[in-house]
Amino acid sequence: MTIRSTLSVAAVAVTLTQASSAAMVTFTSSALWNYYATLSGASTLTENFNSFSGSYPTGVTGNVGGIQWQANAPGGVVAGSGYLATQVSNTVLTFSMAPSVQGVAGNFFASDGDPNYNAVPAIISVTLSDGSSYIGFATSAADFVGFYSTGAAISSVAISVAGSAPTGSYYATADNLFFAVVPAPGAVALIAAAGLVGSRRRR
């Protein structure tokens, strides 16, 4: 199957998913999330957490491409080796974004805690500020969950461990956080005007 036909099938899959939820599209494929965001006119940004390390009892804040994000959890968060996790087991890891974004995604999973925060099989729940949610089984740090809003922008995403077997102490963990940002109408107009000026100069 060619790349073009694969993307065509993917586009159909998104359309069918969107039909069941008019305002929020959910993805478990990073390639499909990126494709859909680009198709919708958004640019994508990545926070890999590589510049963060150690314990943050009151939460931690970062900035990528003008999007300021803040991570909080009861008892604080901990970072290291490119991950960000709750410091206390079985608590909720919440990311808030300012300004709000049109799409948000990440590699979300449950881990076994200090010192290595290794991925463990578990049911995770990912919930957005508007109440939209995804519940699924995550088995590795590469597992992906993404959302794209066709309506109101997204201001927060919360990750929790909904269940595991055997039961025990597990930590909601994120390894990479992705944002989809649509330029403001004014910015789009400026870009279009710059393109028009450039075209006239070439003539």
- Predicted confidence at residue 174, as pLDDT, reads 98
User: Residues of 105-124 as b/e, b for ≥16 C-beta within 10 angstroms?
Assistant: bbbbbbbbbeeebebbebbb
Whether 183 contacts 44, CB under 8 Å:
no
Domain ranges across the chain = 3-202
The 8-class DSSP code of residue 183 comes to P
- For residue 187, pLDDT beyond 80: no
pLDDT digits (tens, 9 = 90+) for 135-186: 999 999 999 999 999 999 999 999 999 876 666 789 999 999 999 999 976 4
Q: 198 or 170: which carries more pLDDT confidence?
A: 170
| Predicted TM-score (pTM) of this structure | 0.82
Q: What radius of gyration do the chain's Cα atoms show?
A: 19
For residue 191, pLDDT over 90 is answered with no
Q: Could you tell me the CATH superfamily of domain 3-202?
A: Galactose-binding domain-like (2.60.120.260)
The predicted structure's pLDDT at residue 184:
77
